[in-house]
Amino acid sequence: MAQYASRYSPLALVVLAMLTEAPMHAYRIQQLIKLRGKDEVVNVKQRNSLYQTIERLQRDALIAVRETERDGAFPERTVYEITDVGRDTARMWLREQLAQPAREFPSFPAALSVLPLLSADDARRQLEARAAALEAELARLDETQDAALAMQIPRLFLLDGELMRATLEAELEWVRSVVEHLKVGALTWSEAWLREVAARFAQADSPDSE
């Protein structure tokens, strides 16, 4: 059985997918990622990250140089094509990402895990601000989705946006519920209460408590 040692990344998968369509140079890949809205799901703000990914894929023999071309006054551009190993690897990565939820470490749950660093009122204000930001992001996604539907883009190519919207909508509903509980005092804390809880758990964890 073939072994694929190259390290997966979302950007690497998107680059390989682009090259299954046709050979192209790095700038064209970046153009298509932005034109098709894939910069919503992979980070290509820094062009260097794209070039580093391409270099790694070439080093791992997933893509190869097809030719170099010159267009007028522009500098030479290297055109890349996907290899057979690259096609197999892209399909393998895609199957893995579709079938197995990845254990990721996003920043919001990490922040929630240390919420008592703030007062309950302060936490409520910050979560209210997050809710407003989520509402704005949902409105932006809706505009993008409406424009895509007006262009009659098939749903197959909009699934990533659908998932992003569903995820944001669920998060917004949850954040609103926490804000409401903070408002009415159903969820609250104080320095004294936190010390009491810490002491109780410290006692429970002590070897002498057995």
Contacts of 96 (CB under 8 A, 6+ apart): 8
94 and 155, same domain (yes or no)? no
80 and 162, same domain (yes or no)? no
Mean pLDDT of 19-25: 97
Q: What are the DSSP calls for 151-178, one per residue?
A: TT--GGGGHHHHHHHHHHHHHHHHHHHH
Q: What are the DSSP calls for 78-117, one per residue?
A: EEEEE-HHHHHHHHHHHHHHHHS------HHHHHHTTGGG
Percentage of the chain modeled with pLDDT above 70? 93
**pTM assigned to the model:** 0.85
70 and 148, same domain (yes or no)? no
pLDDT digits (tens, 9 = 90+) for 106-156: 999 999 999 999 999 999 999 999 999 999 999 999 999 999 999 999 999
User: What is the reported pLDDT for 86?
Assistant: 98
- Domain presence at residue 193: yes
Contacts of 178 (CB under 8 A, 6+ apart): 127, 187
Domain termination site, one of 40, 71, 99: 99
pLDDT digits (tens, 9 = 90+) for 79-116: 999 999 999 999 999 999 999 998 899 999 999 999 99
Q: Residue 57 pLDDT more than 50? A: yes
Radius of gyration of the chain, Cα coordinates, nearest whole angstrom: 24
Q: What angle do CA 189, 190, 192 make, to 5 degrees?
A: 130
76 and 119, same domain (yes or no)? no
